[in-house]
Structure 1
Amino acid sequence: MPHIRVTGLDIPKVKALSAELTESLSQVIKCPADWITFSIGALGDGDIFCNGNLLKDTVYVTVEWFDRGKNAKNLVAKILTEGILKAKSFEFDEINSVDVIFVDIEKENYYENGKHF
């Protein structure tokens, strides 16, 4: 935890983002880098549709975590947005919108391997 879910990018792009951004995110979030995970979308392969059309210029990022305050949210949103818009290790199609959404999980609602965290 935290878990970062990216919708609108394919697997190689999300894999590269996880390699490039995990260390800086770890420093801001103040947790070990191996606690930070990335995945593709909620279901399927992460494509976004509007009115039957595939949107190739929009990326949604959902960060599920234990709340770390407004300042951490601002910094994490900036790191993720800039990382997506400025990634050098792979070619992006033109991205016009990166939306970052934080989902704060209450600790009493989190279980790992059937045990309360």
Structure 2
Amino acid sequence: MPQLTVRGVNSETLVQVSRELIEELAQICECGTDNFTLDDLPVVSVFGGEVVQTYPFVEVAWFDRGQDVQDKLAAALTRHLQQAGVAEVEVAFKVYKETAYYINGRPCGTAE
């Protein structure tokens, strides 16, 4: 956690930016790089009866870390993708409550 799901960006671009991107995001979130997942979601977008290019979109699912960290994460994601040639990028955050997120049947927000 955080989990990044990306659509509308080709896999080669994600591979190109992934190492430096995740290292910077880990610094921003003050956690290890192994806390992140980066998934390329292939989708087919349709508009007006035709297949069209999918708009670049990144969804970040995570535990809330405050507005400042969220702003820095969105800026870093946008910058890395734009430097790799993606003209426009949208980023959205989906926030999980720790007590509603389970690992091996146990909610994260409870003591062992």
Which bin holds the TM-score, normalised by the shorter protein? Answer: 0.7 to 0.9
Q: 1:96: which partner in 2?
A: 87
Matched, 1:34 2:34: yes
| 1:30 Cα offset (Å) | 1.2
SS in 2 for 1:97: coil
Root mean square deviation of aligned Cα: 1.7
Deviation at 1:7, TM superposition (A): 0.5
Identical positions, percent: 29
TM-score, normalised to structure 1's length?
Answer: 0.81
Q: Which residue of 2 aligns with 1:109?
A: 100
Q: 1:76 to 1:20 in 2, by over 3 A?
A: same
> What is the number of equivalent residue pairs in this alignment?
107
- Cα contact 2:21–2:77 (8 A) shared by 1: yes
Who is 2:2 aligned against?
Answer: 2
Q: Give CA deviations for 1:8-45 in whole Å, capped at 9, x if unaligned.
A: 0122222222212011100111111110110012xxx1
Which SS does the other structure have where 2:20 is aligned?
helix
1:17-96 matched pairs, under 5 angstroms: 17-41=17-41, 45-51=42-48, 52-55=50-53, 58-87=55-84, 92=85, 95-96=86-87
**How far has the Cα of 1:48 moved from its partner?**
3.9
Unaligned stretches of 5+ residues in structure 1: none
Deviations, residues 45-93 of structure 1 (Å, cap 9, x unaligned): 144443333226x310000000011111110010000100002xxxx4x
Partner Cα distance (2:31, 2:72) in 1 = 15
- Structure 1 CA distance for aligned equivalents of residues 71 and 89 of structure 2: 14
Q: Does the 8 Å CA contact 1:8/1:48 hold for their aligned counterparts?
A: no
Unaligned runs of 5+ in 2: none
User: Where has structure 1 moved over 6 Å in runs of 4 or more?
Assistant: none
2-structure distance, mates of 1:53, 1:65: 31
- How far 1:5 sits from its partner (Å)? 0.5
Paired with 2:15 and 2:3, the residues of 1 have a C-alpha distance of 14
